[in-house]
Amino acid sequence: MSSLASIACFIGGREVPLSAGFEKCDPATGQPSALVAEADDALVDRAVSAARGALQGPWGRTRLGERLAFLERLAGHMEANLAILVAAEIADTGKPVTPTTQVEIPRAIANFRAFAQIARADAQAASGTTFETPMAGGAWARNTVSRRPVGVIGIVAPWNLPLLLLTWKVAPALACGNAVVVKPSEHSPRTALLLARMASACGLPDGVLNVVHGHGAGAAGEALVSHPGVDAITFTGETRTGEAIMRAASSGPRPVSLELGGKNPALIFADCDLEVAIAGTARSVFDNCGQVCLTTERLFVQRPVFERFAAGLVQAAEGLTAGDPWAAETRLGPAISAQQRDKVLGLYASAKTAGAQLLTGGGALAVPAPFAEGYWVAPTLWTGLPDDAEICRREVFGPCAHISVFDDEDEVVTRANASEFGLAATVWTGDADRAERVGGALESGTVWVNCWRVRDERAPFGGFKKSGVGREGGRHSLDFYSEIKTLCAFQPAS
């Protein structure tokens, strides 16, 4: 036990020694790698109180320019410590080092700079948000609109992109002047603690950024979202947990921002650049072992190119290198936990029982020692099932997809929209008019055309149907993390 890393909570500007904890395993090896603090209700209450106290202290008196300068200073400090953040992310998730170093951690850092720019531009645009209201007898009123922080924000972050999706929430929350209590996933606690340490080192006042570790239902997560001292809650994760958070938030009531699950379609038309579509779809299916809410698990391919597309995607799947996350050539990581691996393998078995035609994969993935006991699942592709089969309806969150054939545009749009989710969709076509027409008809919060997972922090992001509530990104994030206030001052007739 003593050889395991110790991951403490961070409250009021300092780490809290472990009094109770749980073992966390390295997903790449399946071996215990850390002892993580388990925050109880009292510790969560202490974190919320620390955040409330910070709002009543110097942080509550900061001007926007000071806060944005801090975000940019923190981004620079994180950049200087990139290797530390990468190592922590890999230890928690088993992600391959190349995309972690080149994409995930740099994007997490970029969120701070992006929201500093977004908030600065918003303040400049709002500087003229004053309007006059004429009144009887020549009197008038001056209306001035401004932003004020919401207060204490409860942030429940996911395990699939731990630091990236955490900073996506922390950056705008701090830009707007809030204090936060973060509950990272129990599967990926390291980078949240590192972020709190680095923020403190950059001069963030004590209590502005607090981290409590632990599980969800009946534990730290539930204690945080149920706490009456939390003024708003933001969550990224699966839909059932989001529903539970909405119920907890109704006591107050308090605003929620929920980015939830998806069963995202990709529509591949015969007029697309097929090689580009195969490469892009391979990324959208297998990236991060399929553990991204934006991955495409339902593929609809127009009949004339179906066989060529399927063969090309199988080749791409079978060319993925799994194993040592620190090897530059590794492109496929493990499932985050034994529980997640077993869930994915159970759905693989369900597809087989339903009569799916297996094109590649279909089970666990054998990886040589010292990674043989890791949580590996094979990249998997099927065809031959109807759209209402379980594997075509239920989010797997694994490296897999079902490939269906279609004939015409109206048909495929109807089929793609026949889902209880509506987070994202992808359209591959060489026809610009079709791209606009189909993109507009798809019931998804984001539709990519001839690309995937291209994100601009200024663009709104969120889902239709059971894929979420609200939007994040750009001004939409600022609107969630701030209260809009109008000051109306009467002016008598001159």
Active site residues: 259, 293
Helices 82-93 and 190-201 meet at what angle, rounded to 10? 160
Cis amide leading into 184 (omega within 30)? no
Residues 399, 404, 408: CA angle, nearest 5 degrees? 135
Closest CA to 208 of 58, 36, 16: 58
Amino acid at 470: G
Q: Are 59 and 151 in contact (CB under 8 A)?
A: no
Q: Are 398 and 379 in contact (CB under 8 A)?
A: no
How far, in Å, CA of 172 to CA of 474, rounded? 9
DSSP symbol at 294: T
Q: Tell me how far the alpha carbon of residue 36 is from its chain's centroid.
A: 22
Long-range contacts of 451-459 (CB under 8 A, 24+ apart): 451/280, 451/426, 452/280, 452/281, 452/283, 452/284, 452/294, 452/296, 452/426, 453/283, 453/284, 453/287, 453/292, 453/294, 457/110, 457/111, 457/114, 457/115, 457/118, 458/114, 458/118
How far, in Å, CA of 249 to CA of 231, rounded? 9
Q: Are 164 and 174 in contact (CB under 8 A)?
A: no
How far, in Å, CA of 492 to CA of 457, rounded? 44
How far, in Å, CA of 27 to CA of 7, rounded? 17
Which residues, other chains included, contact 72 with Cβ-Cβ below 8 Å and sequence gap of 6+?
112, 113, 116
Q: Are 482 and 115 in contact (CB under 8 A)?
A: no
Q: Are 442 and 423 in contact (CB under 8 A)?
A: no
373's tokens: 């006991």
